[in-house]
Structure 1
Amino acid sequence: MGDIFKEQLVSKKRTAKDGMITALVILAAILLVAASFLFIPQAFVLVVIIVAYGAYWLVQRQNIEYEYSFTNGDLDIDKIINKSKRKRLISVSVKDFEAMAHVEDKDHSHELSGFEKTLDFSSGEIKSNTYAAVFMHNNQKVKMIFEPNEEILKGIFHLIPRKLHIKK
Structure 2
Amino acid sequence: MMNDNSYVELLIARKSQPLMVFLKYLTILMAVFSFLLGFLSGNILFMILFVAFAVGAYFISLNASIEFEYQYCEREITVDKILNKSKRKRVATFETERMEVIAPSRSYHLDEYRNKDNYRKLDFSSGEVQQPDVTYTMYYDGREKVILEPNKELIDALKNVAPRKVFTD
Query: Which bin holds the TM-score, normalised by the shorter protein?
Result: 0.7 to 0.9
Give distance in 2, aligned partners of 1:134 and 1:79.
20
CA RMSD of aligned residues (A): 3.0
Give the direction of change, closer, same or farther, for the CA distance of 1:4–1:35 in structure 2 (3 Å limit): same
Give the direction of change, closer, same or farther, for the CA distance of 1:65–1:160 in structure 2 (3 Å limit): same
Tell me if the contact between 2:67 and 2:83 (Cα under 8 Å) persists in the aligned partners: yes
Q: Which amino acid aligns with 1:135?
A: Y
Check if 1:133 corresponds to 2:135.
Answer: no
Percent same amino acid at aligned positions? 26
Residue 153 (structure 2) aligns with: 151
**TM (normalized to structure 2)?**
0.78
1:68 aligned counterpart, secondary structure: strand
Paired residues, number = 163
Once the two structures are overlaid, the 10-residue window that deviates more, 29-38 or 62-71, is 29-38
Q: Which amino acid aligns with 1:133?
A: M
Give the direction of change, closer, same or farther, for the CA distance of 1:49–1:162 in structure 2 (3 Å limit): same
Return the offset for 1:153.
0.7
Query: How do 1:7-156 and structure 2 match up within 5 A?
Result: 7-22=9-24, 25=27, 29=31, 41-43=42-44, 46-47=47-48, 50-51=51-52, 53-61=54-62, 62-114=64-116, 115-127=118-130, 128-136=133-141, 141-156=143-158
Give the direction of change, closer, same or farther, for the CA distance of 1:15–1:166 in structure 2 (3 Å limit): same
Return the offset for 1:2.
6.3
Tell me if the contact between 2:78 and 2:93 (Cα under 8 Å) persists in the aligned partners: yes
Q: Which amino acid aligns with 2:105?
A: V
Give distance in 2, aligned partners of 1:130 and 1:33.
45
Return the offset for 1:160.
1.4
Give distance in 2, aligned partners of 1:109 and 1:18.
35
Return the offset for 1:95.
2.2
**TM (normalized to structure 1)?**
0.78
Q: Which amino acid aligns with 1:123?
A: S
1:163 aligned counterpart, secondary structure: coil
1:164 aligned counterpart, secondary structure: coil
Q: Which amino acid aligns with 1:117?
A: R
Q: Which amino acid aligns with 1:166?
A: T
Once the two structures are overlaid, the 10-residue window that deviates more, 43-52 or 157-166, is 43-52
Give distance in 2, aligned partners of 1:36 and 1:73.
57
Give the direction of change, closer, same or farther, for the CA distance of 1:83–1:70 in structure 2 (3 Å limit): same
Q: Gaps spanning 5+ residues in structure 2: where?
A: none
